[in-house]
Amino acid sequence: MDESEDLPRTLRREKEARAREARERDAQERAAAPSLPMGSDERPKPQPQIYASADFNPGSATAGPVTVKKIDVPFVELMLFFLKAVFAAIPALILLGAALWILGNLLELAFPWLIKMKILISFPN
């Protein structure tokens, strides 16, 4: 028994219309495409996929909730990603430190009494 028989009539008609349009588009592409490659580097444009569920519309703003069950990332690729992130963070930390140092010096120039509030740490000789 086909699962489309459980769908309401309007959804079943929509699903059949999408399948018919896909078949017609495929037939037109096969008729228009040359049988042998002519040496052009032009690649065919990807066609939108026909979704199995007729009630799913990827362009709608009212898409239902989504739950991610599993993310399968190989360990080596994940490790390389985090190493790249660490190396990318080093210049950002240097720039942040320089910006904070400049801000501190500007505050000392604008408010000289803040120097009294500094905590001086000294090491005995």
Please give the model's pTM, rounded to 2 decimal places: 0.36
User: How far, in Å, CA of 115 to CA of 104, rounded?
Assistant: 11
Over 90: is that where the pLDDT of 87 sits?
yes
DSSP conformation class of 35? S
pLDDT digits (tens, 9 = 90+) for 35-77: 655 555 566 677 776 665 555 565 666 667 888 888 899 999 9
pLDDT for the residue numbered 21 = 93
Q: How many degrees, rounded to 5, is the angle at CA 62 between CA 3 and CA 49? A: 50
Query: Cβ atoms within 10 A of the Cβ of 4, count?
Result: 13
More confidently predicted of 9 and 43: 9
